[in-house]
């Protein structure tokens, strides 16, 4: 008799242990089969009752029934619990969720933010303009004449080919009330200098503005060139502005952004929309060479005239720097292609 009682106790303890480890409806079903099913541990005890002495039967029978009922109601209770926290798909809604993968701002956009903030502290506001431009803003108003090689169809992404004459691509003749020209073909802008014009069309001096933006050129890709990249343009127009303002602002920017000891140099250059013009290089310690940030200069009188600002009264300076170049120098990135490859091992570092 005591043997069977002991067995009943063992089954009861084992069942209680198993039940406490049940985490899902699937676990619970396994539990039911193991203990309460037709071939379960409780049923297996029933035949043994027949072998017990007659006088012990009622007590042991009662014990067995009691355990069976207790397990059944514990099972029902757990089942109700699990069903209330599990949706129709069988998902436990109380389980901790997967942490969503958080992205971050692309390093180039972080650099744009830093530049806009830095120039903001130097009194510059921000402007923007369209990436699809007309020839007036990309060339004509910037003193780049029809004959200039920069307007070659092979050096630009024209979106709307000019009327073909004699089977050759030719630009439309343009006329405009003020400058003798009007917008003709559309193209992806090759420089953010276009926005200088757009700003001056809307706003009269004093002007002190930076313009971050994307530009497009059919260049062959290499470590320092992409066919799409970003520029930061600056434009200052006021009375009595001189080259001293230009140089001192750029030097101040270079020292503030890259560090006080950063070497910077100005090389005489040519741009149709500035006179005089210069290119700005910054020493790239990692590569032991100068890296060209871009061009700058005193705004050409023809540019001011194109937007009806009197060059006798006002003068100004401008620059256009490559933002990828700036980011590469700042964060020791040695290949421009990394910015567009979308490799998160690279992007995650910033
Ligand atoms: N737009 C020129 C380029 O993309 C760079 C440049 C040169 C911008 C001189 C300027 C400037 O504002 O004054 O090559």
Q: For residues 226 and 258, state if they share a domain.
A: yes
Q: Which pLDDT belongs to residue 284?
A: 83
Q: For residues 158 and 250, state if they share a domain.
A: yes
Q: For residues 137 and 37, state if they share a domain.
A: no
Residue 322 phi/psi, 5-degree rounding, is -80, 125
Pocket test for ligand 1, best of 249, 271, 304, 325 (most atoms within 8 A of CB): 271
The ligand 1 atom at the shortest distance from the C-alpha of residue 215 is 4
- Residue 98 within any structural domain of the chain: no
Q: For residues 165 and 289, state if they share a domain.
A: yes
Ligand 1 atom 12 nearest Cα: 319
By three-state DSSP, how is residue 6 classified? helix
Lining residues, ligand 1, CB within 6 Å: 191, 193, 233, 271, 274, 277, 294-297, 318-320
Q: For residues 301 and 219, state if they share a domain.
A: yes
Q: How many distinct structural domains can be found in the chain?
A: 2
The answer to whether the CB of 141 falls within 8 A of the CB of 306 is yes
Pocket test for ligand 1, best of 143, 196, 295, 299 (most atoms within 8 A of CB): 295
Q: For residues 230 and 323, state if they share a domain.
A: yes
- Residue 99 within any structural domain of the chain: no
Domain end position, chosen among 89, 116, 143:
89
- Distance, CA of 62 to CA of 314 (rounded, Å): 108
For 317, residues 6+ apart whose C-beta sits below 8 A from its C-beta are 234, 235, 236, 241, 243, 245, 246, 249, 274, 296, 297, 298, 299
**Would you place residue 181 in the very low, low, confident or very high pLDDT band (cuts 50, 70, 90)?**
very low
The ligand 1 atom at the shortest distance from the C-alpha of residue 321 is 5
- Residue 154 within any structural domain of the chain: yes
Question: What is the residue range of 43's domain?
Answer: 2-89
Per residue in 273-302, pLDDT (tens digit) is 999 999 999 998 878 999 999 999 999 999
The ligand 1 atom at the shortest distance from the C-alpha of residue 234 is 12
Q: pTM value?
A: 0.70
- Residue 134 within any structural domain of the chain: yes
Residue 166 scores a pLDDT above 70: no
74 CA from centroid of ligand 1 (Å): 80
Work out the percent of the chain whose per-residue pLDDT is above 90. 75
Work out the percent of the chain whose per-residue pLDDT is above 70. 92
Q: For residues 114 and 83, state if they share a domain.
A: no
Per residue in 49-78, pLDDT (tens digit) is 888 888 888 889 899 999 999 999 999 999
Residue 169 scores a pLDDT above 70: no
Stretch among 90-94, 218-222, 306-310 having the lowest mean pLDDT: 90-94
């Amino acid at each position: 008799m005591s043997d069977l009682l002991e067995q009943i106790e063992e089954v009861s303890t084992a069942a209680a242990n198993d039940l406490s480890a049940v985490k899902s409806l699937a676990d619970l079903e396994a539990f039911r089969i193991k203990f309460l099913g037709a071939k379960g541990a409780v049923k297996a005890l029933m035949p043994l009752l027949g072998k017990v002495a007659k006088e012990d039967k009622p007590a042991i029978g009662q014990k067995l029934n009691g355990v069976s009922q207790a397990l059944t109601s514990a099972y029902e209770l757990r089942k109700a619990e699990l069903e209330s926290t599990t949706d129709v798909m069988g998902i436990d809604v109380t389980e901790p969720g997967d942490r969503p993968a958080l992205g971050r701002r692309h390093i180039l956009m972080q650099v744009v933010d830093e530049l806009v903030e830095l120039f903001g502290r130097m009194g510059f506001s921000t402007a923007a303009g369209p990436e699809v431009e007309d020839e007036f803003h990309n060339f004509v108003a910037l003193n780049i004449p029809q004959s200039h090689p920069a307007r070659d169809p092979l050096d630009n992404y024209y979106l709307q080919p000019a009327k073909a004459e004699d089977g050759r691509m030719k630009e439309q003749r343009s006329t405009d009330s003020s400058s003798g020209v009007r917008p003709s073909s559309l193209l992806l802008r090759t420089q953010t200098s276009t926005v200088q014009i757009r700003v001056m069309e809307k706003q009269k001096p004093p002007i002190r503005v930076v313009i971050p933006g994307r530009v497009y050129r059919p260049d062959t890709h290499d470590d320092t060139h992409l066919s799409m990249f970003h520029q930061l343009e600056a434009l200052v127009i006021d009375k009595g502005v001189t080259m001293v303002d230009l140089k001192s602002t750029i030097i101040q920017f270079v020292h503030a952004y890259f560090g006080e000891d950063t070497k910077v140099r100005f090389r005489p250059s040519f741009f149709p929309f500035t006179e005089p013009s210069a290119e700005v290089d910054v020493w790239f310690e990692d590569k032991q060479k100068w890296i060209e940030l871009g061009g700058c200069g005193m705004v050409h009188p023809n540019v001011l005239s194109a937007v009806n600002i009197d060059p006798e009264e006002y003068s100004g300076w401008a620059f256009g720097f490559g933002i990828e170049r700036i980011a590469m120098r700042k964060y020791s990135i040695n290949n421009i292609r990394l910015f567009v490859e979308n490799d998160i091992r690279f992007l995650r570092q910033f």
